[in-house]
Amino acid sequence: MYNQCLMIYPATYNFLHARRKQGRFLVKLVIALVLASVAIVVTMWFITRYTNDDDENDRTGSDEWFHHAIVLGFYLFSPFWILYFVIGITLAFVYDAYRPKETHHAKRYGYIADICTVTILALSIIQVSQGGVDETRNYFFRPSEANNSYLDDASTNRLWDTVYGRLFCPITSLWIYTLSTGEGVTAKFLRNEILVSTLAPNSYGCFLFHQMVGQWYFAATRNGLWWNWWSYRKTMYWFSPKPIPVEWFEYPYIVGLVILFTRFITNHVEPHVSRFFVGIGTGINDSHIGEGNDEIRSSSELMLAVVIILTGVEATMNNTSEECGLGSIGMPIVVSTLNKMLAKDHVDATVNVSEMIQARTIADMVAVIDTAKSRASDSGI
């Protein structure tokens, strides 16, 4: 899915860039895309749900297989997910066309963002407070077809979970757009240094490691009892998650442990592993640096060569790091590769991550390299 998003990005960007001044067209396009996303999930729900318990008596094994195939196909069909990627790109062009931050009514966007925040929080609290699926209770946000753990094989329950989340697309799109102005209480809270610099970099790692760390915690606090839900038969054969059976007050402990483990992996393991694989892929790791070149390349030639090595993109000096693919690699890898290239050219200069991370374009990165060379020369290296 990620690769397909990268595949369609150039064509989508070029299409929108050619119409970047057509604000009304871009707004209509966003609205059309959002309505299309809602129509897709609503249509999918009504054509695949089981409408009543009587239907259960007539369902055969082949019916079950076909139902699972349809639901799983919908869940994993990447164009339906790519739609949200395109909505995000289009929203960025809408923002650039109207620049709401620069208007006299910028604070109004902050109010709208805060209203969206309160709405999302309220609905989330109500949803969580209802507890798990229980056919003996009535739920405000779960249809009866998705609330029958006895007669349903869980595919309809799971289908509603993904449909329900995607139905929030209109409000989340508006929320992201208005948050981009930086106005409002929500934006002020999200600018907190702890959230931005300490917690945010761990988000993807927490997604990867929370199940594993949670199981370790359960085994350590239950006298060695190993809760391994994955070894038991599931209610359906595709993606059927269950929560770890711990008390509610243990939740903060587990979250803290997951964050600490993620920070350890991110700071002390991932850089070495990434450098190893980058070195294998590019042939410029420590064992394959070689004797260097007869002529020292200029800073611009060096930086453009690094971009080609890491991403395969022939960048220009005006390209940003995101446009040429460096944004998804990580600046430590870029700097590590760059310093190896400098050493390969017998240039006794070292570029720092703290300096390079402030550069926005390739030209800015070249300026950082020039500064490092000048600093090395002035210090008599």
Q: What is the pLDDT of residue 233?
A: 61
Query: Measured on CA atoms in the order 192, 195, 198, 204, is the torsion positive or negative?
Result: negative
Q: What is the pLDDT of residue 6?
A: 78
* List of the chain residues with pLDDT < 70: 50-64, 131-141, 145-155, 224, 227-242, 275, 278-296, 327-330, 378-381
Within the chain, residue ranges assigned H as helices are: 2-17, 23-48, 54-57, 61-76, 78-98, 106-129, 155-166, 169-179, 184-190, 193, 203-221, 251-264, 270-282, 299-311, 331-344, 353-356, 362-378
Q: What is the pLDDT of residue 107?
A: 92
pLDDT in tens, 185-211: 999 999 998 888 888 888 888 888 988
Q: What is the pLDDT of residue 284?
A: 46
Q: What is the pLDDT of residue 306?
A: 84
Q: What is the pLDDT of residue 285?
A: 42
